Amino acid sequence: ADLLEMANEIIATLNESNADEKYLIGLLRQAYNGKNTLAEATRIIVNALFGKYGLLVIDGDDIELKKAFMPVMKHELLFQDSQQIVNETITELSSHYKVQASPRAINLFYLKENLRERIEKVGETWQVINTAIAFSEEELLHELEQHPDYFSPNVILRPLYQETILPNIAFVGGGGELAYWLELKTLFEKHSIVYPVLFLRNSVLWLNKKTTNAIEKLRLSDDDIFLNKEKLFTQIVMKNEAMLALEKINNAIQINYTAIIELSNSVSSTLNKSMLAHAAKAKRIEDRIRQKFRAHIKRNDDELMSKIEKMKEQVSPNGTLQERYDNFLSIYKLYGMNMFDILMKYQEGFGKEFLILKEIERI
């Protein structure tokens, strides 16, 4: 019911007279029909959007796949050493990366019908929290042997599960994802599971025509647009005609002070020290004058700050990367199914550059 309500809210924002949006409306209604599970709905959508590029979708709860992971699940239930192993790795990485996922004593869920709860060991009993379900060691191992699909890895063991059933040479992900995988390297070694080579994917920023035009009018480079608003404003202000004229005057003053210092040195060392002090004082005054010019130009240019703020709203909404904030629907509404062809055309699987898509072409 919650998924159906969410789908209806999204559908209400779409325009049925637009062919691409009409297609998405039909897709959402098919996926979130009130009968499909979240996993089933996700598979329907992902397959519809990306299937033509070649896509393999499997059911991770399949009993045959879970059987392949039984040795790791059995070890986790009996020995509970993942928490210590991962925490030791986290400690080593903490000076470089934020903690992405914290392990528990037992990193498995128990699944049954509409039930999905954590397993905890209390004394010599394994309990499924928030239920009356409990197992002795013998009962637990029997349950695992008969119904491995009743057990599900949490965030700590999930990568080990996926690399067990679908081994990869490499894993390509974002910065947070790679930091998360790094936490698990020693755990992979513990269970003799091949740890894939990690590659950082390139990030993508979509800029609509209005924002692109604003960036061009402000004469900003691709690097400039990632500066914070204050630094960006200061940089633009420094290109103001009055500021450029002021810098010419300040440069002339500095040239004169340099000449005075050289001349004083020919008279006496004492006079030279005095002139150096005057020059330092003049430099401080110059900085204060520059600050006052900036402040007054800023005060008189609210329109410029407004333009910068609007541009930054798209470049880094809410102060974060666009890809971490915006749903794909905001891009889809502009470019429809073409957005995926555009990404396939310009993305590089192992690219390190930040990909900026401006005034996106129609394919």
The reported pLDDT for the residue numbered 229 is: 86
The reported pLDDT for the residue numbered 63 is: 95
The reported pLDDT for the residue numbered 361 is: 47
Can you tell me whether residue 46 is helix, strand or coil? helix
Q: What is the pLDDT of residues 175-222, one digit of tens each?
A: 889 999 999 999 999 999 999 999 998 889 999 888 999 898 888 899
Q: Which of 212, 221, 257, 252 is nearest to 239 (CA)?
A: 221
The reported pLDDT for the residue numbered 117 is: 97
The reported pLDDT for the residue numbered 300 is: 66
Distance, in Å, from the CA atom of 238 to the CA atom of 34, rounded to the nearest integer, reads: 58
Distance, in Å, from the CA atom of 17 to the CA atom of 22, rounded to the nearest integer, reads: 7
Q: What is the pTM of this model?
A: 0.77
Strand 204-207 with 355-358, pairing: parallel
The reported pLDDT for the residue numbered 363 is: 46
Residues of the chain with confidence (pLDDT) below 70: 1, 300, 360-363
